[in-house]
Copies of this chain bind each other. A is one copy, B any other.
Amino acid sequence: MDLAEVNFNKMKGLVPVIAQDSETNEILMVAYANEKALNLTLSTGYAHYYSRSRKKIWKKGSTSGHTQKIVEIRIDCDQDSLIYKVKQIGGACHTGYYSCFFRTLDKKGLHLNGKKVFNPQTVYKQVK
């Protein structure tokens, strides 16, 4: 489909995407999408992103099984950021936490404050 409303120009063809738990509104992760990733997300109903390091599209959960089923997509006022509101299977973070934001930051440094929901060594070993 035509995604002319989305401004992919500010960041070399990418927009930041926040994945958010559709029931609790907890923020799960931040990743990036190009136009193709967003089109795949819209057409399949599952979250797709573009990996800046691997330089390719990825479907969240294609390795771990921890997919993100899309409930709603939101776009901001200047049309250069997206929210994927999702039903998260397993956990969003490759470290085993439900959310990638499992630490707080204050003047003293970083502090652990998150919920571990799976063992990454088990989950990622299964598929090798």
Contacts and interface: CB of A to CB of B under 8 A. Distances in A.
A103 B83 contact: no
Contact of A77 (B27, B52, B95, B104): B95
Contact of A76 (B20, B77, B101): B101
Contacts of A94: 77
Contacts of A1: 107
Interface size class of A (residues with CB under 8 A): 35 or more
Contact of A5 (B16, B20, B27, B110): B110
A42 interface: yes
A115 to B, nearest CB: 13
Interface string A46-90: 000000100000000000000000001111111001110000000
Nearest to A102: B77
Given A83-B101, A101-B83, A76 B106 contact: no
